[in-house]
Amino acid sequence: MKKIILTGDRPTGNLHIGHYVGSIANRLKLQKENDFEKFYIMIADTQALTDNADKVDKVKNNVIQVAIDYLSAGIDPEKVTIFIQSQVPELAEMTMYFMNLVTVARLNRNPTIKEELKMREFGGNSMPVGFMCYPISQASDILAFNATTIPVGEDQLPMLEQAREISRAFNSTYGSKILVEPQALLPESKSQARLVGLDGKLKMSKSAGNCIFLKDSEAEVKQKIMSAYTDPNHIKVSDPGKVEGNVVFEYLDAFATDESFKKYLPEYKNLDELKAHYRKGGLGDVKIKLFLNNVLQEILKPIREKRAELEKNVDKIYEMLFENSRKAREVASQTMQKMKEAMGIDYTKFLKK
């Protein structure tokens, strides 16, 4: 069976380097392998509104921003169907039916929602119902397309589990076999699966304001790296330093290769050697930060340049998004129709011929 791949991002801001290692790198790999039946990427504007009800303009403006981020990172719209969630209303319809298959207690146990509450403006008490239920709507996004393979970061694992549970619950409740159980595709390393933010505390997240964005200028990237959290007890160069929880080393773990050392820091063979020196003492933060800057700039430069080109013809990107949303809607509406038949809420048989 060939893969049906689906993944997406919330248009709450531009994409950051956490997206790059967490999900986009795997998307580019899958695109290159070309071993799939269908590949969808969804811009989740409906989901973004669940915690941005009063910021419709922000969400709307970021739809095109995220689309430009995809294309500049190398996603090929000829191979991948990039679409806008709100333009596929069947997804909302499906969510209504799935809501009946999930308990409030189950939603309350979702660890990602708990972490996300820390970075949202509302605390637990003023959480909108829509936000609480977004794992259910995310299940619709996946199940509507019979997706098998979901390239995501680690924060999405509870959402995938929820989607699998809903798929099983629907099939067993309505005696059907139409919904499939999706699998997450995580990046290789832990630092990539959950890239920490510049503050060293939460995961890098648009909503937490601790990001290096793919569109940041060269100077912005450098400035952010130079002020990143390292080890507060590593004051003098000669002090022994801590590598764990040190943002610069977390990012080097995620992005640096032995090649990077050859090119930008040949006095060390690899990251293990650099870490050992830092732990022992005698290696300053400025040196490791400048190295990280070189590593990241190499990745971000071509993306930035492509973005500048793409920004000249935004109309064409909107056309692509609408055309693909139309195609995605056809698929989702077929699944919705099959679900209604399985549930027995297809009334057409009562119509007089």
* Residues that bind ligand ATP in the complex, under the rule CB under 6 A: 9-10, 12, 18-19, 22-23, 152-153, 155-156, 193-195, 203-207
From CA 74, how far away is CA 91, in angstroms rounded?
A: 27
Using Cβ positions, the residue closest to ligand ATP within the complex turns out to be 22
From CA 176, how far away is CA 341, in angstroms rounded?
A: 10
From CA 205, how far away is CA 195, in angstroms rounded?
A: 9
- The structure tokens listed for 176 are 């059907």
Q: Quick one: 18 or 241, whose CB is closer to ligand ATP?
A: 18
- The structure tokens listed for 253 are 């773990």
Provide the minimum distance between the beta carbon of 302 and ligand ATP in the complex, in angstroms, as a whole number.
21
Provide the minimum distance between the beta carbon of 353 and ligand ATP in the complex, in angstroms, as a whole number.
49
From CA 324, how far away is CA 77, in angstroms rounded?
A: 9
Give Cα separations from 224 to 62, 73, 121, 212 (angstroms): 22, 21, 24, 7
Provide the minimum distance between the beta carbon of 18 and ligand ATP in the complex, in angstroms, as a whole number.
3
From CA 26, how far away is CA 188, in angstroms rounded?
A: 9
From CA 29, how far away is CA 227, in angstroms rounded?
A: 32
Provide the minimum distance between the beta carbon of 160 and ligand ATP in the complex, in angstroms, as a whole number.
10
Give Cα separations from 149 to 8, 27, 32, 35, 283 (angstroms): 12, 11, 15, 12, 43
Q: Quick one: 19 or 329, whose CB is closer to ligand ATP?
A: 19
Provide the minimum distance between the beta carbon of 195 and ligand ATP in the complex, in angstroms, as a whole number.
4
Instruction: Please count the other Cβ atoms lying within 10 Å of the Cβ belonging to residue 27.
Output: 21
Nearest to 194 by CA among 131, 247, 241: 247
Q: What is the DSSP letter of 51?
A: T
Helix (H) or strand (E) holding 270: none
From CA 212, how far away is CA 198, in angstroms rounded?
A: 8
Provide the minimum distance between the beta carbon of 173 and ligand ATP in the complex, in angstroms, as a whole number.
29
Q: Quick one: 95 or 156, whose CB is closer to ligand ATP?
A: 156
The letter for the amino acid at 224 is K
Q: Quick one: 150 or 271, whose CB is closer to ligand ATP?
A: 150
Provide the minimum distance between the beta carbon of 79 and ligand ATP in the complex, in angstroms, as a whole number.
19
Q: Quick one: 159 or 166, whose CB is closer to ligand ATP?
A: 159
Torsion of CA 55, 56, 61, 66, to 10 degrees: 90
Q: Quick one: 153 or 182, whose CB is closer to ligand ATP?
A: 153
Those residues with Cβ within 8 angstroms of residue 63's Cβ, 6 or more apart along the chain or in another chain: 11, 43, 45, 84, 321
Provide the minimum distance between the beta carbon of 351 and ligand ATP in the complex, in angstroms, as a whole number.
43
Q: Quick one: 46 or 207, whose CB is closer to ligand ATP?
A: 207
- The structure tokens listed for 297 are 């700039």
Q: Quick one: 16 or 234, whose CB is closer to ligand ATP?
A: 16
Q: Quick one: 9 or 336, whose CB is closer to ligand ATP?
A: 9
From CA 288, how far away is CA 183, in angstroms rounded?
A: 37
Provide the minimum distance between the beta carbon of 172 and ligand ATP in the complex, in angstroms, as a whole number.
28
